[in-house]
Chain A
Amino acid sequence: MRYLPLTDTDRREMLSVIGARSVDELFRDVPASAHLGAKIGGLPDHQGELEVERAFQAYAAKNLSPATTPFFIGAGAYRHHVPSTVDYMIQRGEFLTSYTPYQPEITQGTLQYLFEFQTQITLLTGMEVANASMYDGSTGTSEAVLMANRVTRRHKALISGGLHPQYRRIIETTAKWEGFNAVIGKPDVEGLEDLIAAVDKETSCVVVQNPSFFGHVRDFARLAAACHAAGALLIVVVTEVVSLGLLKPPGEMGADIVVCEGQSIGNGLGFGGPYVGLFATREKYMRQMPGRLVGETVDADGKRGFVLTLSTREQHIRREKATSNICTNAGLCALAFTVHLTLLGEAGFRRLAEINHAKASELADRVAAIPGVKLLNGSFFNEFTVRLPRPAAPVVEALAARRILGGLPVSRLIPNDPSVENLLLLAATETATEHGMGPLVAAMKEVL
């Protein structure tokens, strides 16, 4: 077996040093009733690389990849061009096959890129501190609510109807098992929701998304002020982080915690994961944050270096009093994010955002011109909602039959709600072309 360096001779020699006759002796603590004599049945034996690769090519061939077809789906995962440099860098063995930097003297590479990553996140979000990543935006959002509950010592979270429906489900799940009250808003299709009146002295936080799940761009400055007046925190969620190249950052609106899904930068669609959660807050709440933090310090020679810090928040030190149980997070996806953002820089990131907005504007105008289709957004970044004259799910299936991935029927994530049955969510990034938009519009005219 190509991965196993020990030969039978090695094994015999090692057993003799150990003083055991066979490897079975080393497993003697396993109860006899649980000892499997032979290998587990019903499973194939080892295979060469060629055979393994063929098997995966067969799986791949049964899927329709966006790379080969008109593609307009977003809803929390966005298809962007990732420069070749990014994937090349994250496959360097020194990054790929290292672990959490517990020994800082020999993991300065990881620690420095995470310090740079944390800095980039604060700049994008307009916040003061950021951690070294969460699993993804969806789990990070739940962690933000728990953090707000700790900070405020309150147990009522107001959840906007503009939040991604699966993010909302995760908060509901967390609320059910970790014991707090999540008040869920109705789907905010039109982007007109006003939560200010609902904020009271029991509210720990309000969770909003910008742009919202339905694509609307909102100013939350007044909501932030209302939250602060009531002693609550404002949590702003961003599922399309490229929007921060063009939009006023949540920090400038008064957000207390910002959670982003970072997938759009550096990380492919990957059928939903792994992604990278970005988590930022105000300095005064730093010690209530979940996750790893990298800090600057000096070594014994006075040279600048980086270490994991403020670990007394974390499970390996604090155990049952930890701010979160998170351990392994999304290090390599954070590297992909930071390499891509470094390539983009100020000019590239802003331009990328402009292109996304322009492409989506073009798509919105063309789709809205189809008879019977109504654009619901007065504002959007690169994603918007249209109302179709009939249910969206079969329309999307009919488009898929024509090899067009034409958006998300909102009913897939908000089922059994007649008010959203006809809604279609469409996204366009810099990867959208005339070769995609033209066929989409033509096919929609046919199937509607």
Chain B
Amino acid sequence: MASSQDRSQGRTGGIVSGGTAEAATYTGNRALQIEEPLIFEMGQPGRCGVDLPEPPRVKDRLNGLRRTGDIGLPGLSEPQVVQHYTRLSQKNYAIDMGVYPLGSCTMKHNPRINEKVARLPGIGDLHPLQPVSTVQGALELIDRLAHWLKTLTGMPAVAMSPAAGAHGEMCGMMAIAAALKARGERAQRKTVLAPESAHGTNPATAAAIGFTVKPIPANDRGRVDLTALKAALGPDVAAIMLTNPNTCGLFESEIVEIAQAVHAAGAYFYCDGANFNAIAGRVRPGDLGVDCMHINLHKTFSTPHGGGGPGAGPVVLSAALAPYAPYPWIVKDGATWRVAEDESKVEGTPLGRLKAFHGQMGMFTRALAYIMSHGADGLKQASEDAVLSANYVMAALKDTMSPAFDGPCMHEALFDDSFLKDTGVSTLDFAKAMIDEGYHPMTMYFPLVVHGAMLIEPTESVAKEDLDQFIGALRSLAARAKTGTAAEAFKAAPLYAPRRRLDETLAARKPILRWKPSNNPPETDPVKQAAE
């Protein structure tokens, strides 16, 4: 299905752009948009991108298990490798290119000093199991970040090892399970309450640990319905999992009452900290009655998202849950730092261990650099600017698009699709049309409680003139949609991206998850062609 032949056809159908019909090119490339084969279609035996010395001849000690036959890896020279990945990179949208308003994901600026310090040999080139006497600076660095996280959240303890937000959820919910077990109530308290607007990771996490998830409804202001919550609380409830600010971009105004009710019922309050970036430096979750909260370092503290990770998800813990932190943690004995990792000792944790070694050190370093660069003043300002920018977008678009809720939002502006009613244009179409305007779309169809949801998170990193252009683009698209005659054009979008809409049904119905020589028709196999 994929082939050099397809590529040489260029775009079919003579799409008209600026009055000029696009002509097909011989290569299928279009100036800076270069079609790129898979590495498996490029390689030649005998090529290699590294120079390694001839290995000394030794007698095998492989227990007779030497690999026979080829692995099947292609051979490419270094310049080919550089060109391949450079070309691929140019098919990606990124924060470095412009507004990336992907709600809930916090696509803010990723400073390069963070990358630089993470690569200092004395930090990036350390083995996790070196004698602790040789990594005192690394342990001090982790403890310094832990100090910032505890202070910013007003919580007494933090578990640093979770590898991402969802992993942090696992840590927090296991700590809750451990605390319940210590109270002798693990078997009795099997219910976890979560709003219907919750991230999918919340119910997935709770269910994995054997809890039954019970949804709690929202009120017409997009917040947890306190009366319904109180009615749902009982001796069977282990915890509530609540995002705050919530996934609708709203602060849970009754959060203190929620926490009190949850605690009065003998349950714990898990806060999903995905949206901590809205309040860091202004509000401490510890003051709200939270028992544990993960912090997505790649969101709030801008360690890069990297195309889908790596992240890091340290979990701050209240005094009630602190004894149930997982291994390892950093301890200071006099002037010396050490790692508490010996589960057989008296300091042993009833939770256990979630990850090998000491957590995502590379992310810790970047987050600490980001935090130190901002300082207490800058973090507060960043939160305020994020909230200001989202409210600005909301205010500027409220008459053109349809806000899901009244009143100020926090760091993200949520719209439903009622402004598209009877236009034939869906949220998906609207998002794809944004691509042609040069933007990454907002988060679509999440949270689930809002019809055709569009969740816009501008972040604090966008200049006002760029926000204005973004607002202008959305107004223009909304106006076009509302003409009622543009549905077809919207459905054709995007026209100018490296690819037009992709057939996701085909991908799922007949999954092709790896390259095989037979994926390509033989006559268009470039490897074979090249060989001829």
Closest chain B residue to A220, Cβ basis: B65
Residues of A within 8 A of B130 (CB): 64, 66, 73, 400, 405
Contact string against A for B residues 407-421, beta-carbon threshold 8 Å, 1 for contact and 0 otherwise: 110100000000000
Contact A58/B137 with A103-B441, A270-B124 known, Cβ cut-off 8 Å: yes
Residues of B within 8 A of A71 (CB): 127
Residues of A within 8 A of B71 (CB): 123-124, 244-245, 346, 349-350
B121 touches A173 (CB 8 A): no
A167 touches B356 (CB 8 A): yes
Contact string against A for B residues 64-106, beta-carbon threshold 8 Å, 1 for contact and 0 otherwise: 1111101111111010011011101111111111001010010
Q: How many angstroms from the CA of A310 to the CA of B504 in the assembled complex?
A: 9
Which of the four size classes fits the interface of chain B?
A: 35 or more
The distance from the CB of B298 to the nearest CB of chain A, in whole angstroms, is 7
**Interface size (A, Cβ < 8 Å)?**
215
State whether the Cβ of A6 lies closer than 8 Å to any Cβ in chain B: yes
B358 touches A272 (CB 8 A): yes
Closest chain A residue to B497, Cβ basis: A105
Q: How many angstroms from the CA of A335 to the CA of B432 in the assembled complex?
A: 26
State whether the Cβ of A152 lies closer than 8 Å to any Cβ in chain B: no
A320 touches B125 (CB 8 A): no
Q: Which of B57, B96, B492 contacts A97 (CB 8 A)?
A: B96
State whether the Cβ of B256 lies closer than 8 Å to any Cβ in chain A: yes
Contact string against B for A residues 281-297, beta-carbon threshold 8 Å, 1 for contact and 0 otherwise: 00000100000111111
B231-239, B457-465, B476-484: which lies at the A interface? B457-465
Residues of B within 8 A of A77 (CB): 127-129, 357
Q: Which parts of A299-319 form the interface with B (CB within 8 Å)?
A: 299-307, 309-312, 314-319
Contact A46/B102 with A269-B127, A303-B2 known, Cβ cut-off 8 Å: no
Q: Which of A20, A118, A129, A331 contacts B309 (CB 8 A)?
A: A331
Residues of A within 8 A of B97 (CB): 93-94
A197-205, A224-232, A322-330: which lies at the B interface? A322-330
B432 touches A29 (CB 8 A): no
Q: How many angstroms from the CA of A61 to the CA of B504 in the assembled complex?
A: 51
Q: Which of A116, A305, A315 contacts B201 (CB 8 A)?
A: A315
State whether the Cβ of B522 lies closer than 8 Å to any Cβ in chain A: no
Q: Which parts of A117-160 form the interface with B (CB within 8 Å)?
A: 118-120, 122-124, 128-130, 132-133, 135-139, 146
**Number of interchain pairs (Cβ within 8 Å):** 730
State whether the Cβ of B321 lies closer than 8 Å to any Cβ in chain A: no
A106 touches B93 (CB 8 A): yes
Q: Which of B45, B134, B308, B375 contacts A400 (CB 8 A)?
A: B134
Closest chain B residue to A38, Cβ basis: B380
A5 touches B58 (CB 8 A): no
A98 touches B363 (CB 8 A): no
Residues of A within 8 A of B354 (CB): 139, 170, 173
Contact A94/B344 with A17-B392, A309-B507, A315-B204 known, Cβ cut-off 8 Å: no
B310 touches A273 (CB 8 A): yes
Contact A98/B463 with A73-B130, A119-B515, A397-B131 known, Cβ cut-off 8 Å: no
Contact A34/B308 with A67-B121, A123-B71, A246-B62 known, Cβ cut-off 8 Å: no
Residues of A within 8 A of B292 (CB): none
The distance from the CB of B266 to the nearest CB of chain A, in whole angstroms, is 20
Q: How many angstroms from the CA of A79 to the CA of B504 in the assembled complex?
A: 40
Residues of B within 8 A of A371 (CB): none
Q: Which parts of B490-504 form the interface with A (CB within 8 Å)?
A: 492, 494, 497-504
State whether the Cβ of A264 lies closer than 8 Å to any Cβ in chain B: no
State whether the Cβ of B251 lies closer than 8 Å to any Cβ in chain A: yes
Closest chain B residue to A55, Cβ basis: B372
State whether the Cβ of A193 lies closer than 8 Å to any Cβ in chain B: no
A45 touches B352 (CB 8 A): no
10 A-B pairs besides A272-B361, A347-B48 with CB distance below 8 A are A29-B408, A31-B288, A36-B282, A64-B135, A79-B127, A112-B88, A166-B357, A300-B500, A314-B200, A328-B164
Question: 16 interchain pairs (CB within 8 A)?
Answer: A46-B373, A96-B115, A99-B100, A99-B107, A105-B497, A105-B502, A106-B497, A116-B38, A130-B513, A271-B128, A274-B360, A325-B208, A344-B50, A348-B50, A357-B55, A379-B63
The list of the 10 closest CB pairs from A to B, nearest first, reads A304-B2, A60-B122, A272-B357, A332-B306, A62-B137, A173-B352, A93-B96, A272-B128, A274-B310, A331-B308
